Amino acid sequence: MNRNTITDIKGTFTLHNGVAMPYLGLGTYQADNEQEVVDSVKDALEIGYWHIDTASVYKNEEGVGKGIKESAVAREEIFVVSKVWNADQGYDSTIKAFTDSLERLQLDYLDLYLIHWPVAGKFKDTWKALEHLYAEKKVRAIGVSNFLQHHLEEVLSDCKVTPMVNQMEFHPYVVQQDLIDFCNKNTIQYEAWSPFMQGKVFDLDICKELADKYNKSVAQVILRWNLQKGVVTIPKSVHKNRIASNAAIFDFELSEEDVTYLDSLDRGERIGPHPDHFDF
């Protein structure tokens, strides 16, 4: 996988189809659809983020679209991501869900569209729909979310297009290095959701110690760790000062020992559901 040097907020990792994906983005999970999400998107774009992540199930695509439209940044500069929800999976319903997401976002195309969860008996038909949308150039890249190795192997067994991204729960307690290695081997870009363990990472002593060592915040240390592992990351915040602080990670570098130490904290302790045992 071609990875550019980690340089600045505009830096990218290159997907296997040549599309440049900004490695730092704004997550919008649990940001409401009213002014809160509009303002956070506008703030992020103003600060220099060029990657905004949403999903139909977040119920805030309209607000995200409004924030993009009201910002001073040109649409083609922004990497916009959404996801097809579980209830909409299947071939025809996925095509419709994609069209509905575009309409809510008031956009002509998406930069990345993901299958949100691997719904058994449906995700392969859903993938075929994503391949169709990609062939029609309605989306610049397609991928999955919450897919373990066996889910990916099922897709890879007969897909026309290899997924370009796998967005997974990723933080010091769920590293899943074997899955990262499998994705890297198959040129699937790994991406983190919930990099802060929904706030629990701030209570870990080792993270506080590393923050002191590098004279950075715990959040900055964790995000830097993500990037140094070649993992795209999308921290969520609706506070402008935190959105800015989360981007101040390009003036220091974690040692290899500290990266390895954070990796070693992996205990398979998830904040969200296990991809084999979700019921929604």
Annotated catalytic residues are: 58
Structure tokens at 238: 């609706």
Q: What is the DSSP-derived secondary structure letter of residue 236? A: B
Maximum CA extent, the chain: 53
Please state, in angstroms and rounded to a whole number, the distance separating the CA atoms of residues 199 and 177: 22
**Cα distance from N-terminal residue to C-terminal residue, the chain:** 33
DSSP string, 46-68: HHT--EEE--GGGT-HHHHHHHH
In the structure encoding, which two tokens stand for residue 50, read together?
């060029």
- Cα of 271 vs its chain's centroid, Å: 16
Gap between the Cα atoms of 28 and 34, Å rounded: 12
Integer-rounded Cα radius of gyration of the chain: 18
Question: Which amino acid does the sequence have at 158?
Answer: D
